[in-house]
C-alpha cells in the first residue's frame, strides 16, 4: 500500500509526496503555507486521481515524459518525476490511481 509522506521543506512550506508500496515517489506536491492547505491537497489527490482526465501528460525540454495531476479547476495538485519512456510514465499514472485513495499519511 502506498503512503503520503508529509514534511516541511527548508523554506518553511508544507509539502507531501505520494510513494508507492516499493518506496518510489510517484507524485510530489507544491508548497503550501499551512498544514490545512496541504491536507486539502492530499484529499484532492485522493479524489482527482480516480479520473483519468485529471492527468495531463507532458514532455520536458530534454524529451522526458512526465505527468501532472490537476484538480477540476485545472490547478496542478501534483507532479511526477521525469520518466525515460511513455510506458514508464503511464505506469506511474496507474500507480497513482491505485495507491492514492487508501494511502496512509505519515510524517517523513
Q: Where are the domains of the chain?
A: 3-107
Mean pLDDT of 26-38: 97
Close Cβ partners of 79 (under 8 Å, ≥ 6 residues apart): 27, 28, 30, 66, 67, 68, 69
pLDDT reading at 28 higher than 90: yes
The pTM for the full model equals 0.94
CA distance 8 to 23: 19
Mean pLDDT of 68-92: 97
pLDDT band at 4 (very low <50, low <70, confident <90, very high): very high
Mean pLDDT of 84-102: 97
pLDDT band at 1 (very low <50, low <70, confident <90, very high): confident
Q: What torsion, rounded to 10 degrees, do the Cα atoms 22, 24, 30, 31 define?
A: 80
Return the CATH fold of 3-107.
PH-domain like (2.30.29)
- pLDDT, averaged across the chain: 97
pLDDT band at 104 (very low <50, low <70, confident <90, very high): very high
pLDDT digits over 42-78, tens only?
Answer: 999 999 999 999 999 999 999 999 999 999 999 999 9
Q: Which residue shows C-alpha cell 507532458?
A: 58
DSSP secondary structure string, 49-63?
A: TT-GGGEEEEE-TTS
Amino acid at each position: 500500500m502506498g503512503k503520503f509522506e508529509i514534511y516541511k521543506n527548508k523554506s518553511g512550506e508544507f509539502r507531501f509526496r505520494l510513494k508507492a508500496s516499493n518506496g518510489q515517489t510517484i507524485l510530489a506536491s507544491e508548497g503550501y503555507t499551512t498544514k490545512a492547505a496541504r491536507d486539502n491537497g492530499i484529499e484532492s489527490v485522493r479524489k482527482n486521481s480516480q479520473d483519468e482526465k485529471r492527468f495531463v501528460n507532458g514532455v520536458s525540454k530534454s524529451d522526458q515524459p512526465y505527468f501532472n495531476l490537476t484538480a477540476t479547476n485545472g490547478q496542478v495538485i501534483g507532479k511526477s518525476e521525469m520518466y525515460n519512456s511513455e510506458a514508464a510514465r503511464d505506469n506511474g499514472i496507474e500507480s497513482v490511481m491505485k495507491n492514492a485513495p487508501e494511502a496512509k499519511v505519515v510524517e517523513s
